[in-house]
Chains A and B, each alone.
Chain A
Amino acid sequence: MKYVGKSIQRVDAIEKVTGSAEYAGDIELPGMLYAKLLLSPHAHAKIKSIDFSNALKIPKVVTIAIGEDFSFRVGLYVNDRNILARKKVRWVGEPVAAVVAEDLETAEEALEQIRVEYDPLPPVLDVREALKPDAPLVHEELGEYAHSPAFNPIPGTNIANRFVVKRGDIEEGFKKSNVVLENEFWMPQVSHVPMEPYTCIGQYLIDGSIKIWTSAQSPFAIRYILGYSLGIPLHKISVYVPYIGGGFGGKAGINFEPLVVLLSKKAGYRPVRLELTREEQFMTAPVRQGFYGKIKTGATRDGKLLAEKIFYAFDAGAYADYGVNIGRAAGYSCTGPYYVPNLEAESLTVYTNHPWGTAFRGFGHFEFLWAIERQMEMMAAELGMDPVEFRLKNALLPGLITPTGEKLREDAGRIDQCIRAVAEKIGWGTPPQAVGLNRYRAKGIAALWKAPAMPPNAASSAIIKMNEDGTFLLSVGVTEIGQGTVTALAQIAAEELGVPVEKIRVVPFRHTDLTPYSWQTVASRNLFMEGRAVIRAARDIKEQILEVASQVLRAPKDDLVIEDEKVYVKGRPEWSIHFKDIAAGYVYPNGNTVGGPIIGRGYYVGSRLSYLDPETGQGYPALKWTFGAQAVEIELDIETGEVKVLKLVSAFDVGKAINPQLVEGQIVGGVLQSLSLGMWEEYRYDGNGRMLNPNLTDYKIARAGDIPEEHVVVVIENPQKDGPYGARGVGELSMLSVPPAIANAIFHAVGVNINDLPISFENIWKAISKKR
């Protein structure tokens, strides 16, 4: 292959190194106004009154809006979210009022003049507390909310979704088990910390149409939800998305777009911009949900898993808009990459008075794999088995049954190869080693899997246009959030069309008026799905080229060959015609013309995906499973709890690396993000649910000085037959199972179990001290 499998330069590289790449915050529009939000200081309180009369008197303040101005809700899966708080506030940071002014300073000044009277209500600040029968309700009206048929909210409780999996006979399974172990796990809420804070501009036009410019990952989802919620037909809504400065799922749903659009209407149809500050990004933008898990596992004496009872509760925060799908995703993958014949799992998405949670790279899976991969380690220890051997013994190989009853396809990836690869490269099998006073070196390993969390009808499409000179424009709906998918798609198009990749330009922005549909840029689904759509679009183009060439060359289509931007007759390369002479119709010497502009299109939806049975969770949720494993070597100071990851090894079965450098970039970057989340990051709250660390001094993310010395990346390529050139997604996968690999290494070093994140020095020290 000429282009697929090569590390070609990113299509967006030159714009990004010269500072000319456009992001939402760089856009300025004529007459543009600026919005600022007044945030709730209470986690749970009734809004008694809001007085903004003084604020409105300030010169250059154009308008002020409060929740009662907008009497409808939005939500991707559960329609539960207010545009601005109505009647009550549900987290510290919920927008209560919005000021629109001629400039930002005036808007900020006006915020200080708004008086809100609250009547505090008891907040629910822990997911376990929220499940108790007498817990305060975060959403009294849960029964009234519209929701997707795939979800199951329980009115009168804080449960936004209940997802259940049942397979086999769990009681029998535990009865036959020689070893049974039950443990609890927890992780805090965290932030995506995209380097670009959320930014959007909205304009409501007098004819009732809407224009949006936004840093959102999924323009078509925004258009759809806005249309549904406002009752506006989709052809009157345009969403424009330039480059995105990091998304990681935090920009996947619909966020502030409805607000700026409605503010524009209220402000006399002028465009209104909202750009979050870093503090607002922490306080009022959506976060990753918190997690609590309880797992009971049974196995035979020789280490065969027989039964598992799983309980996952996701701390959704104040709204479950997008978040209900996180609990569902954790549910359908709940065992991790292991075969468990008897299984009962319950995965709940639970409202609390924390900031609201949304998608975050690898959602559901990062969370439950923390629990499962720690549990596997403790099981292996209980059984007296080597943890690598134990994992391999229970590996979910092709032909075995997944939690939802799917027989794993023969061309699925190989978890056993991933585990073996990391074990070999980390030098598994050597015992922990003392290195000087109080310091130990040890190794840890953890496995992972994930399938895209998406509805069965999630679709992708592609358009390829042939320009008059025989070059091409490729247009796709997947947004460029850093992951590089569009570069790989250009390579696929070049391979299919047989033209140099330099002759294909990927349209660098997304505009729902022009761009072909893509459900969302999420779930590690886009290389696979857009990839297939691009292949079909390229084949459509070739078919059209052959149609015209057949007339011009006076030969049947099946006698024609496409190569090097030319069409020729088999065995007669001298009877040929160049692409550029067909591109806009072939013109004979006398002016007669045949054919016309060539536009190829293709789409892709997953084959035979299904909704899952509400009682048992059985069905087909997975377009593909990507498997992988992580290994670490750490050095631990048992006096201080200080831990340093010296070496990382990551292996993924990606099917086919379309662009190896991009694959490696996704792996190296995702693994560090995972390490950072696992070791340092957490939303810290005071007793009233107020975040204590809403800045990058107190909420630390990994810096250049924090990276491990060595990172070995192993790319395994067992192709999936229906993937584009055999490829599977990898973007989110690199995020998974780094924290349990580190905690497992700590366990081997000193025998303490860290089951709550983050694995901070303080938490390690506390665990070691407790053991003594």
Chain B
Amino acid sequence: MERKKITFKINGEEKTLEVEPNKTLLWLIREELKLKGTKRACERGDCGLCTVLLNGEPVKSCLVLAVEVDGSEIITVEGLARNGELTPLQRAFIEHGALQCGFCTPAFLIVGHWLINRNPRPSREEVIEALNGVLCRCTGYRSIIDAILSVTKTEK
């Protein structure tokens, strides 16, 4: 298959490489760039575990082709903490016990950061609606919702 050259920024770092046109963004992140924090769990957009930020908006990376991200900016879970400092939301997840097996945690953090960025004072209903596209089988979601709300309350 003919490979296509793409240039993009991921977690602040610029990359240029060649990809086959049938590869997904999820494949690009996990297999090509070896960023294993983004998880693969259904590859058909049902579970949301592979969610990353593409130009600031959450996308299910299994549903985006790698060639589409040419010229874009991507943030994965590895790009959240900067200079060795956890973000307030990462700290809130820990304080609220908002993680168990941890497999969905990266996706919830990505969606949570997007939400806070877009809407610094969301209601509980808005948080729930934002999280509805990501599945978790362990926590029962309550602690995740509380963690996100705790951060929005302190950031007045």
Cross-chain contact B39 with A196 (CB below 8 angstroms): yes
Given A195-B137, A244-B101, do A278 and B36 touch, yes or no (CB 8 Å)?
no
Cross-chain contact B40 with A668 (CB below 8 angstroms): no
| Set of chain A residues within 8 Å of B106, measured between Cβ atoms | 19
Asked whether A209 is an interface residue with its Cβ less than 8 Å from the other chain, the reply is: no
Given A17-B109, A19-B106, A195-B49, do A661 and B97 touch, yes or no (CB 8 Å)?
yes
Cross-chain contact A195 with B99 (CB below 8 angstroms): no
Q: Which of B97, B105, B132 contacts A704 (CB 8 A)?
A: B132
The CA-CA distance from A22 to B142 in the complex, in Å, is: 25
CB distance from A18 to the nearest CB of B (A): 6
Select the residue from A481, A482, A662, A673 with max chain B CB neighbours within 10 A: A482
The CA-CA distance from A302 to B134 in the complex, in Å, is: 51
Cross-chain contact A16 with B86 (CB below 8 angstroms): no
Interface residues of A, count at CB 8 A: 56
Interface stretch of the complex, out of B2-10, B63-71, B74-82: B74-82
Name which residue of chain B comes closest to A16, CB basis. Answer: B102
The CA-CA distance from A246 to B136 in the complex, in Å, is: 9
| Set of chain A residues within 8 Å of B142, measured between Cβ atoms | 668, 707, 711
The CA-CA distance from A25 to B31 in the complex, in Å, is: 11
Asked whether B17 is an interface residue with its Cβ less than 8 Å from the other chain, the reply is: no
CB distance from B117 to the nearest CB of A (A): 17
CB distance from B116 to the nearest CB of A (A): 15
Cross-chain contact B131 with A19 (CB below 8 angstroms): no
Cross-chain contact B100 with A483 (CB below 8 angstroms): yes
CB distance from B137 to the nearest CB of A (A): 5
A interface footprint on B34-47 (CB within 8 Å = 1, 0 otherwise): 11111111111011
The CA-CA distance from A9 to B101 in the complex, in Å, is: 14
| Set of chain B residues within 8 Å of A28, measured between Cβ atoms | 34
Given A18-B80, A696-B46, do A245 and B39 touch, yes or no (CB 8 Å)?
yes
Cross-chain contact A17 with B99 (CB below 8 angstroms): yes
Cross-chain contact A19 with B77 (CB below 8 angstroms): yes
Name which residue of chain B comes closest to A26, CB basis. Answer: B36
Cross-chain contact A668 with B139 (CB below 8 angstroms): yes
Given A16-B102, A196-B103, A245-B39, do A664 and B137 touch, yes or no (CB 8 Å)?
no
B interface footprint on A7-44 (CB within 8 Å = 1, 0 otherwise): 10110111111111111011010000000000000000
Within 8 A of A (CB), among B27-59: 34-44, 46-47, 49
Cross-chain contact B136 with A195 (CB below 8 angstroms): yes
Select the residue from B38, B41, B97, B131 with max chain A CB neighbours within 10 A: B97
Asked whether A248 is an interface residue with its Cβ less than 8 Å from the other chain, the reply is: yes
Asked whether A551 is an interface residue with its Cβ less than 8 Å from the other chain, the reply is: no
Given A21-B102, A195-B39, A246-B103, do A662 and B97 touch, yes or no (CB 8 Å)?
yes
Asked whether B129 is an interface residue with its Cβ less than 8 Å from the other chain, the reply is: yes
Asked whether A596 is an interface residue with its Cβ less than 8 Å from the other chain, the reply is: no
| Set of chain A residues within 8 Å of B47, measured between Cβ atoms | 195, 278, 696
Given A17-B93, A18-B78, A195-B41, do A243 and B101 touch, yes or no (CB 8 Å)?
yes
Name which residue of chain A comes closest to B22, CB basis. Answer: A105
The CA-CA distance from A483 to B139 in the complex, in Å, is: 10
The CA-CA distance from A481 to B100 in the complex, in Å, is: 8
CB distance from B139 to the nearest CB of A (A): 5
| Set of chain B residues within 8 Å of A668, measured between Cβ atoms | 139-140, 142-143
Cross-chain contact B86 with A245 (CB below 8 angstroms): no
Within 8 A of B (CB), among A150-201: 192-197
The CA-CA distance from A481 to B132 in the complex, in Å, is: 23
Cross-chain contact A697 with B46 (CB below 8 angstroms): yes
Cross-chain contact A195 with B101 (CB below 8 angstroms): yes
B interface footprint on A693-710 (CB within 8 Å = 1, 0 otherwise): 001110001111101000
B interface footprint on A474-487 (CB within 8 Å = 1, 0 otherwise): 00000001111000
CB distance from B134 to the nearest CB of A (A): 8
| Set of chain B residues within 8 Å of A764, measured between Cβ atoms | none
Asked whether B104 is an interface residue with its Cβ less than 8 Å from the other chain, the reply is: yes
| Set of chain B residues within 8 Å of A672, measured between Cβ atoms | 140-141
Asked whether A606 is an interface residue with its Cβ less than 8 Å from the other chain, the reply is: no
Asked whether A671 is an interface residue with its Cβ less than 8 Å from the other chain, the reply is: yes
Given A19-B77, A195-B39, A195-B47, do A669 and B139 touch, yes or no (CB 8 Å)?
yes
Name which residue of chain B comes closest to A709, CB basis. Answer: B124
Cross-chain contact A19 with B40 (CB below 8 angstroms): no
CB distance from A772 to the nearest CB of B (A): 35
Asked whether B144 is an interface residue with its Cβ less than 8 Å from the other chain, the reply is: yes
Asked whether B145 is an interface residue with its Cβ less than 8 Å from the other chain, the reply is: yes
Q: Which of B93, B103, B131 contacts A245 (CB 8 A)?
A: B103
Within 8 A of B (CB), among A366-394: none
CB distance from B133 to the nearest CB of A (A): 8
Cross-chain contact A704 with B41 (CB below 8 angstroms): no
Cross-chain contact A17 with B135 (CB below 8 angstroms): no
Within 8 A of B (CB), among A593-647: none
The CA-CA distance from A28 to B93 in the complex, in Å, is: 29
| Set of chain B residues within 8 Å of A26, measured between Cβ atoms | 36
Cross-chain contact A19 with B137 (CB below 8 angstroms): no
Cross-chain contact B41 with A196 (CB below 8 angstroms): yes
Cross-chain contact B132 with A703 (CB below 8 angstroms): yes
Residues on B lying within 8 angstroms of A by beta carbon are 34-44, 46-47, 49, 76-78, 80-81, 86, 90, 93-95, 97, 99-106, 109, 128-129, 131-132, 134-145
Residues on A lying within 8 angstroms of B by beta carbon are 7, 9-10, 12-23, 25-26, 28, 192-197, 243-248, 277-278, 481-484, 661-662, 664-665, 668-673, 695-697, 701-705, 707, 711
Q: What are 13 A-B contacts defined by CB distance under 8 Å?
A: A12-B102, A17-B109, A18-B86, A19-B35, A19-B106, A22-B36, A192-B137, A195-B104, A278-B41, A278-B46, A665-B97, A668-B142, A696-B135
